[in-house]
Structures are given as C-alpha cells and as structure tokens.
Structure 1
C-alpha cells in the first residue's frame, strides 16, 4: 500500500514526523487504528527480536503505509559492542524485517540515541542511514497521558521529528487527542523519508 503522506509537500505545508520506537508491542494495533482514522503516517523503529515475537503486527505497520526502520535486534547500546556484534545487531534485524514485511529498511535508530563515528560507519556498510530526532517526549519516564500530551504539544515544530514509544500504553491512549490538537495547528503527519523531501535517507548519514 503506498503511503498517503508521500503526496505531502513539506516545503509548502507544516510537516511533523511522529516516530515510535521499541515495538512492535501489544498496544501497537490500537495506535495503528488511531493513525489510520486521522489519516496520519508515522515511522516505526522496530526491534528485531520483538518482530520475531509479533510478526503479524509488524506486517500491519507495513500494510498501513508507515515507514519502518531498524532498531537493532536486542535493543543494544551499540558503542559498547565490537564491530562484528554491531553488524550482527543490524544485519539480522534487516533480514527479519525484510522477511516479515517485504521491505528492507534504509534507516536505523540507535537505541538510547547512543552512537559514534564507528557505529555510523558500520551502519553505512549495512546501507543504513541514522535517524535521530529533534525532540523526545521521554514518555517512558512520564507514564502519564496528560504529561505526554503536554510534552508533544510543547515540542511540536515544523519539520520536527518527535520520539515516542508504542510500547508505552499511556502514549497510545492519548494519541487521538494529540493528533486532533496538532491538526488544529495545521500540521501534516508524515514519515521521515517524506520529511527529507526525497533527499535521503542516505546510508552512513546521520539526520536530525
């Protein structure tokens, strides 16, 4: 299914990329329904082991036209590992995601945002661009729907990339309210590739 957001021109309208890490989780299907109802596209950085546990949910993410990224196999802090271990974390996840969703990701997000030039170089060998963020909600520590909503609304800005987690139930619960309010503010919800205006993602390049 083609991504509806691909038709959005972020040079002309206010775009925002909502990104969700650490899934797929048990609450992800509910989030997918919310996004679909709002006509919103998002980017999901999936953990390989969790895709093995919930392949059908990963397939749903792809079928809804959302962008999919690699978030390593075991949610490892990459700089703490040697080259072969890092490559294994990325390559195994690439293979799992391609097998399950039919797509080979072009993006990865380092767990905890922990990265360095060595990690970036190894990602380039795996043909992956590094996607960080402009702002993070820290929803995993807030675990309060009202606080998470307030954080997103405060952080939202044109061409922003906001980090959230679809494994945090409070985030999923409050997402309808967040989308409604941001729509009132004129935002269009797009994938990270759409936000890059077709100028990426390029392997070995770190964004945001």
Structure 2
C-alpha cells in the first residue's frame, strides 16, 4: 500500500506543473513568457528564475525538445508552466490542416515523453493564427496563448534595450513575450526581475494569471 501511495504521488508530480499560490485578484501580477526553446541559454535562465523565486511560462519547440529533453524536464520540475510552440516553428495559417495537426500532435508527444506532462496551451509561431488554426488547436485539446506585449528581443539584441522594453510594456495582468534563445535576454533577466519586483509585480505563470478559469481548449487568451 505504501509503495502504491508513493507511486501515485510521483505520478501526480509529473502530471501537471506546480502552480503559484499568488492571488492575482489581490496583487499586481505579470506573466513572463519565453518562446523557441529549450536553447543553450535556458539552463542559465532557469537558474536565475530559481534564485529570484519567480515562475515563468515556456513555449517549447518540438525539435528543440528532441535535442534537449532534460532541459524541458527541468523546466517543469522547477514549477514553470510549459506549452506547445509547434514542432518546426512554421507560420500555421499557410499550412494545411493535416500539417498543422502534425505540428501540434508531434510536439505534444515529445513534451510528454520528456516531462511526463501533456501541455494544455500552445502559442502560434510569430503570432500567426486564424479561426481555422484555433479550431485545430481545439481538436488537439489546446488553448491558444498570445500576449499583451512583445519585447522584440530577437531584434534588439541588447540587454539594456531589452530591459527598457520590458519595463515599458509591463502592466497588471500582462503577458510579455521574450525568447530564451536570445542570449541578451538571458543576460538581462536578473536586472529585469529585480526592477519588476521593486515596482510591485508578482511574476507568475500564465495559468496562475487565469485564476483557475483556464486554459480551456479552443479558447484564445490575451
């Protein structure tokens, strides 16, 4: 009985990401999200987030999960939320239904194999989406997560400019788009987090920002 109980507990730990206990109805929350990983800089970013005691959301590319399954697993283990960012990062509205479904389903399987968790969220590459894409996401039991502000860190490529972009875009219940594949973003994060905390923000996952009301399949947020 004890062995069965321990096994059940272990399975429960990998079935869903740990959620913050922050009440975003009472405090000023902000969700930092990172696309396109896992990448070479992701472990350093995870180390920073752990040191600062904050949670973030990572939208993972399937082919990158194939290359770095242990990093994907570590991301979930540290209590961050993870989502699907397709297998090969195409502009989905330009692809046929079967190809879109394959992009989403393959990534679902790879993330589940690596982490033990099957994502409930996806983010369309480049933010390119339409009603057809959202309907296919619904078939895959995924919600669609967009954002309230993008830092364009991939083009800025400067820690000071990236920090300034984050601080300009920050707002209560906001969702900011960054990339853990941009080295300058990883470098800027300690200063970004310290300043956001100073301004009263609680940094939480997207599910925490939804306050238990999502994510729901086939629904688009932010």
TM-score (norm 2): 0.92
Distance (Å, rounded) in 2 between the aligned partners of 1:81 and 1:19: 25
Q: How far did residue 5 of structure 1 move?
A: 5.0
Match of 1:153 among 167, 180, 191: 167
- Say if 2:192 is the partner of 1:182: no
Task: Classify the secondary structure of the residue corresponding to 1:21.
Answer: strand
Counterpart of 2:81 in structure 1 is 67
Larger Rg: 2
Task: Classify the secondary structure of the residue corresponding to 2:30.
Answer: strand
After superposition, give the CA deviation of every residue in 1:30-88 in whole Å (9 maximum; x if it has no partner).
Answer: 00010011110000000000000111111110111100000000011100100000000
Match of 1:57 among 57, 67, 71: 71
Distance (Å, rounded) in 1 between the aligned partners of 2:19 and 2:164: 25
Counterpart of 2:3 in structure 1 is none
* Segment of structure 1 superposing worse, 153-162 or 2-11: 2-11
Structure 2 unaligned spans of 5+: 1-12
Counterpart of 1:109 in structure 2 is 123
Structure 1 unaligned spans of 5+: none
TM-score (norm 1): 0.98
Task: Classify the secondary structure of the residue corresponding to 1:7.
Answer: coil
Poorly superposed stretches of 4+, deviation over 6 Å: none
Distance (Å, rounded) in 2 between the aligned partners of 1:27 and 1:34: 11
- Say if 2:104 is the partner of 1:90: yes
Q: How far did residue 6 of structure 1 move?
A: 2.1
Aligned residue pair count: 208
Distance (Å, rounded) in 2 between the aligned partners of 1:5 and 1:156: 21
After superposition, give the CA deviation of every residue in 1:82-120 in whole Å (9 maximum; x if it has no partner).
Answer: 000000000000000011011000000000000000000
- Say if 2:60 is the partner of 1:26: no
Task: Classify the secondary structure of the residue corresponding to 1:199.
Answer: coil
User: Alpha carbon RMSD of aligned pairs, Å?
Assistant: 1.1
Distance (Å, rounded) in 1 between the aligned partners of 2:17 and 2:119: 15
Q: How does 1:164-203 map to 2 (within 5 A)?
A: 164-203=178-217
After superposition, give the CA deviation of every residue in 1:107-141 in whole Å (9 maximum; x if it has no partner).
Answer: 00000000000000000000000000000000000
| Alignment CA distance shift 1:177-1:90 (3 Å) | same
Q: How far did residue 10 of structure 1 move?
A: 0.1
After superposition, give the CA deviation of every residue in 1:134-176 in whole Å (9 maximum; x if it has no partner).
Answer: 0000000000110000000110000000000000000000100
Match of 2:152 among 138, 145, 166: 138
Indicate if the aligned counterparts of 1:17 and 1:161 stay in contact, CA closer than 8 A. yes
Counterpart of 2:58 in structure 1 is 44
Indicate if the aligned counterparts of 2:18 and 2:80 stay in contact, CA closer than 8 A. no
